[in-house]
Every structure is written in structure tokens, then in C-alpha cells.
Amino acid sequence: MVLSPEIIERRLRAVDQTSESIQTTSMWIMHHKDSIAEIVKVWIELFKTASDSLQIALFYVANDVCQKAKKRGDAAILLNAFAPHWTSAISVVKSLSSSRENGGVIKAIERILDIFDERQVYSKSQLDDMRSALIGVNETEEGGFEFDTDVLAKFIEAYHKGEMVMERARGILARSDFNFKDKIKSRMKDRQGGEKFLEEIEMAQKKLENFLSTLSKHKTRGTHLMEILDAGKRFFTLQLRDVIVVEDAYQKFSSGIDAVRLELEEMLKTNIYPGASPPRDAPSPTPNEDPFQDGVETVFERNYFFLNAKLKDDNW
């Protein structure tokens, strides 16, 4: 069955952020994987003009498709179909962040990228491209870089908050007693007490597992932050290089102005100006050096008769 762009758009536009809607739409896409090229094309075009809530839903749908494809072995078709459009979609979100508050979309992207990283849905180089698009690091046609310092500040702030949470959790763990050997004897006196105690142990185990999972994500964010800082270092190094070049040019220009100023001051002191008429006290030429010592008319007549005689000889 060939899907028209209208049918695909209507199906994607109807999705919302509920699990049921996302999974249903994801299964629909996988069912029509033969038309995945058309579906992805409509997906990215719809995403560009979608509201924040629809953008999040579209991200979740694509994420669900990619993860299921990874498990089912359809990666070659579905993952590759979405791969080039993830970066484009993230760039759209980044460009819209200056005109509207879309923090929810950015957080959704961060969660999805973390999942991609943990489950190795995409390669490291592909994830680096996606994250670079999210923080606004782009290589220009001239070989330079564009870098968004506001996004960097937000990443640092978010990581700092996460570090504070991790520090509090470490403190709680340090004060916790995980030696259940003595407690078992006192708590497991009957069936009811034993079941309650086992529930507490399971709850503690789940909390510990959640902490380890959160700690792992925090470590991943830290690694990502280091990559962002490295990109920032490269960006500002290039900026510094350009500033040094401009500064050097202005210093040379300033030195040239100083040299001209000194020359002008010297001219004012000596009354000697290059290219100007000689001063009044300059020595006059001697009679032997003056071609007009017999008068201008005499010189003119002499030259006139000479030229006239020469012309007659030539005509002869």
C-alpha cells in the first residue's frame, strides 16, 4: 500500500504524548516500513512547523521506532532513514529557542540522546553530531565554528544542580546501614514481619539501583559537558586568533599614523613641505641655467623659425 503525504501527515499530526498514542503510531510506522522514506520526509516537514507538544510527541514516536528497530533487527532500514533527520530536527528546535520557550522539547531531546547513548542505538559520531546541533556548535563553510554560549551556560548550570543532587545522595548512602545480618534476627520473628522486612530490602535495593542508574547518566552528562567545553575552547581559540590579527593590523595602522604625525610636526617646524614651491629665500638659478634669460618671446620666435625651417626641408 502506497501512503500519500496527506495520509501520513494526518496520522502523525494526530499523535500526542500518551504512551498509547506513541506506541500505536510507532507500530503503524513499522507496519508501513516500505514507505519509510516518505514517512520520514513528512515527519521532518511537519516537525518544522509543529507546536512544542507535537514536537515532543514526534520525537517520542521516532525514538520508539528506532529502539524497536534496534531490537527487531530492522536497524538497516528504519535507523538509517531517521539518522540524517535527527540532527535537522534538533537544529530546528535550537533555532526556535531564541523566539519561544521550548525547554520541554530540549529536555525531551536530552533524554532521548541519553537513551540512544546507553542502548547504543546510534554510533558515537552520530550522537556527537546530534549533541553538537543541540548546543549550537556548527562548522561553517569557511572552516570556523559557531558556538552558543547561552546553551553552554545552561548545560553547566544543569550539571552543577545534578552534582549537588549526587552529593546529597552520596551523603545519605554514607550514613545508611546496609548490614542486614543483625536486623534479620530481630525482624523476621514471624511471617508477617519477615514479608515486611523483605519489602523494605527490595525497596532499598530499587533505590540503590535507581541511584546507580542516575549516577551513570550524570557521568555521561559530565563526559558530554567536557566535549562541549572542548568545543568551546576551540571556538574561543579561533576567536582569539582573529582578534590578534585585527589587533596587529590596528597597531600597524596606529604606528603609521604616528609616523605621519611626526613628519607633519617636522614640516611645521622647518617650513619645508615635500612637493611644495621652494621657499622665498631659496637661491635663484644663474643666467647660464635660465633658458628664458633673453625673454620668453625671443625663445618662442627662435623655436618657431627653427620648426618652420625644418618643416620646409621635410616637404622638399
User: What is the separation of C-alpha 52 from the centre of its chain, rounded to a whole number of angstroms?
Assistant: 21
Q: 254, 279, 297 — which closes off a domain?
A: 254
- Least-confidence region, from 11-15, 24-28, 244-248, 279-283: 279-283
pLDDT at 243: 82
Does position 247 have pLDDT exceeding 50, yes or no?
yes
Are residues 33 and 58 part of one domain? yes
Are residues 105 and 177 part of one domain? no
pLDDT at 114: 86
Say how far apart CA 156 and CA 152 lie, in whole Å.
Answer: 6
Residues 6+ apart with CB under 8 A from 2: 35
pLDDT digits (tens, 9 = 90+) for 255-288: 889 888 888 888 888 877 665 566 566 666 665 6
Say how far apart CA 176 and CA 178 lie, in whole Å.
Answer: 6
| Percent of the chain scoring above 90 in pLDDT | 14
Residue spans of alpha helices (H) in 32-178? 36-49, 52-72, 75-96, 103-118, 124-135, 149-175
Mean pLDDT across the chain:
78
- The CATH code of the domain that includes 34 is 1.25.40.90
* 261 within some domain: no
Comparing 207 with 289, the larger pLDDT belongs to 207
Are residues 66 and 18 part of one domain? yes
Q: For residue 165, what are the domain limits? A: 149-254
Q: Residue 116: which pLDDT band, with cuts at 50, 70 and 90?
A: confident
Are residues 156 and 109 part of one domain? no
Comparing 96 with 252, the larger pLDDT belongs to 252
Let me know: does 54 contact 14? Beta carbons within 8 Å: no
* 210 within some domain: yes
Are residues 80 and 160 part of one domain? no
Let me know: does 81 contact 29? Beta carbons within 8 Å: no
Q: Residue 89: which pLDDT band, with cuts at 50, 70 and 90?
A: confident
Are residues 157 and 97 part of one domain? no
Are residues 99 and 50 part of one domain? yes
C-alpha cell recorded at residue 286: 644663474
Are residues 198 and 241 part of one domain? yes
pLDDT digits (tens, 9 = 90+) for 154-195: 778 888 888 888 888 888 877 777 776 777 766 667 777 778
Residues 6+ apart with CB under 8 A from 85: 40, 43, 44
Say how far apart CA 134 and CA 91 lie, in whole Å.
Answer: 6
Are residues 88 and 60 part of one domain? yes
* 92 within some domain: yes
C-alpha cell recorded at residue 42: 513528512
* 292 within some domain: no
Q: 76, 102, 135 — which closes off a domain?
A: 135
Are residues 155 and 131 part of one domain? no
Q: Residue 63: which pLDDT band, with cuts at 50, 70 and 90?
A: very high
Q: 254, 289, 308 — which closes off a domain?
A: 254
* Residue in this structure with the C-alpha cell 523566539, named with its chain if needed: 99
Half-sphere exposure of 249 (CA within 13 A, CB side): 6
Are residues 155 and 130 part of one domain? no
Tell me how many domains the chain contains. Answer: 2
Are residues 157 and 104 part of one domain? no
